[in-house]
Amino acid sequence: MKTLKNWLLSFVIAFALFYLMDHAIMSMQGLPLNIDMTPAQ
């Protein structure tokens, strides 16, 4: 059970990290994204 929790938590952290990073990097270049990652412009 602990192992499963570790893996789930790890993937949640990793997904959040890269999802936010993608938004931040694209926005910084003047290329905002929608929540579903499609171009906002």
CB of 9 to another protein, least distance (A): 7
- 35 touches another protein (CB under 8 A): no
- 20 touches another protein (CB under 8 A): no
Residues 15 and 3: their CA atoms lie apart, in Å, by 18
Residues 18 and 34: their CA atoms lie apart, in Å, by 15
Nearest residue to 37 (alpha-carbon basis) of 26, 29, 28 = 26
Which positions touch another protein (CB under 8 A)? Answer: 2-3, 6-7, 9-11, 13-15, 17-18, 21-22, 25-26, 29, 31, 37, 39
